[in-house]
Structure 1
């Protein structure tokens, strides 16, 4: 067995295999600790790619990291949490982004145009994180070159004034569908050979790719295991929403049991869309039975 990950689309310590492995070791993912080697599945610079034919609405084929495609089987470990564009991140998002090289991550995001509001202060926070140098500051206001923009959302994450926006009603549902199709491609050649574990522990409002964490939005729930990525995410989604939300977190609304906690953080995003679409394209079923062990 081996541990694996893929290189990121955004800049930072996981954008190439050398720095990625160094980062992993610093966080305890060392052979001496884990008892298994770490392989960055898409190679040194994300060029180890395997094409998988899927013939779905958005993609006829998808790019999957070569060493993930070559593996006989896979256990997918996912931290369940909120996400600004996907609503939440679980097994489906982990498959889609975690198994894709930067080329595949770019194809999934591809959301634009991003717009800059008048409250932009020209602080250049967005410019510093843009992986394609598509942003510059002109007359104390950021300007996005839409031709260079790859729709990675990094600028939207970074803006302290929340001055960057996108058409949430059209672009984000399509992003979730593209993500589900990549998840489908990641496991298409491994039928019956993939298991999933979702960790509903320290359920934070935003993605783990952020360079910081925040207070959980609900109490810890536990760990789910399944062979169905749709069912495990549906169960996780329901379990989170059954909780009483923490008032002293970023949860702005829907605190009551039964309220959509992820909409309580990111009101513009319907995270359940990724689950529905994954079921539509044959990845699994939203029906599940919880067996406590």
Structure 2
């Protein structure tokens, strides 16, 4: 059921694709076309233990010829759009390669960022749950604990959906970038679709993505919930120890879970509302012919892996 309160949240939340990994089983002709456009560099085992050849252009990495024969059954080429994928500007040659009809999504990280001008920036008051009332895995990361990071999801590598919640400004401060975000609280849902006949970049299964997004219950601020102070205290205890929920009487468990579900951030609705714009960075742009008859080029600093 759609959350009727979703639309008012659109102005307070920014959605973007943070990371996207695409794979393809290119045909011989497509491989020839790829190598005609991009010069690859052979990697030894120490440079890349997964692929024989790769090339990095701006924030786009292209890898060819997996070292693992089992991986080669499913794909022979990988394209990695690193952090802030939605802001990626492709050179025309890569835009053309993306038009191959064999690309599938191996991983996509969808980020929801909350403005610091609302209670959504209250990090200590946030609550993460699943619809069954608990989380399989929740921990502080040792590497980025100063970012107030939390991870949700199974450690099983076959898990199709995981989430990470952290303070973007704490991360920027830790990395000494000097960047300060107006939307600092990030809830990022990382999806790992199966490489089957339903998973193609040309016809993204939005229903599958929306279903996965709907399984996360995220409350940005417990204090904003229509609960008495005692129930809010119970939620804070659940936030600190998810096993505490099981110690409550069944009727109270159901009451708290119902309230959390009704007031959760409607990730799937926000995605549905924004999906057309969300993938616009993948669209093929036409080359512009200058008055001199030459194609206008986009300048990129090539970086060798």
**Short-chain TM bin:** under 0.3
Q: What TM-score do the two structures reach when normalised by structure 1? A: 0.27
> Per chain length, whose mean CA-contact separation is higher, i.e. which structure has more relative contact order (CA < 8 Å, sep 6+)?
2
Of structures 1 and 2, the larger Rg is shown by 2
Q: What TM-score do the two structures reach when normalised by structure 2? A: 0.26
Question: Which structure is higher in strand share?
Answer: 2
